[in-house]
Amino acid sequence: MSAYLAEYLSGEMAGMKFRTMGPLSILKHRPWPPSPAVAPRLDVNQCFEEENTPYYHSAHFYPTRIGEILNNRYQVVTKIGYGTSSTIWLARDLNQWRCFHDKYVAVKISTTEHHSRQNAAQNELDILRHIARANPHHKGWHFNRHLLDTFTLNHDSRIHLALVSEPLREPLWMYQRRFVGDVIPSGILKVTVQMILEALDYLHSECHIIHTDLKPDNVMVKVEDPSILDESAKDEYQHPLPQKLCPDGHITYLSRNNYGPPQKTAGIITITDFDLAVYGDKPNNGCIQAEIYRAPEVILDAGFSYSADIWSLGVMLWDLLEGRKLFKDVDPVQVQEYSESGHLSHITALLGPAPDALLSNGRRTGRFYTTDGHLKYPTAPPTSFNFEGLLNNIRSEDKTLFIQFIRRMLKWHPEDRSTAKELLQDPWLSADFDDF
Nearest to 169 by CA among 80, 239, 101: 80
CA separation for the pair 256, 253 (Å, rounded): 9
Residue in 159, 148, 169, 157 with CA at minimum distance from that of residue 73: 148
CA gap 53, 84 in Å, rounded: 5
Distance separating alpha carbons of residues 259 and 364, to the nearest angstrom: 45
> How far, in Å, CA of 54 to CA of 256, rounded?
22
Which residues are registered as beta bridge partners of 159?
154
CA torsion 161-168-211-312 (nearest 10°) is: 140
Residue 153's H or E segment, with its range, is: strand 147-155
Query: Beta strand pairing status for 168-171 and 219-222?
Result: antiparallel
Query: Which helix (H) or strand (E) is 87 found in, with range?
Result: strand 86-93
- Could you give the CA distance from residue 341 to residue 280 in angstroms, rounded to a whole number? 27
Nearest CA-CA partner of 253 in 36, 103, 40: 40
Phi, psi (5° rounding) for residue 210?
-105, 125
Category of 208 on φ-ψ map: left (φ > 0), alpha (ψ -120 to 50) or beta: left
Shortest CA distance to 33 belongs to which of 49, 52, 13? 13
Q: How far is CA 203 from CA 120, 282, 429, in A?
A: 18, 15, 20
108 assigned binding-site residue = yes
What is d(CA 131, CA 129) in angstroms, rounded to the nearest whole number?
5
Is the Cβ–Cβ distance between 168 and 81 less than 8 Å? Answer: no
Strands 147-155 and 86-93: unpaired
Distance CA 283, CA 293 (A): 21
Residue 160 host element (H or E) = strand 158-165
Task: Give the three-class secondary structure for 316.
Answer: helix
Which amino acids are annotated as binding site for ATP, given as ranges? Answer: 108
User: Which residues are known binding-site members?
Assistant: 108
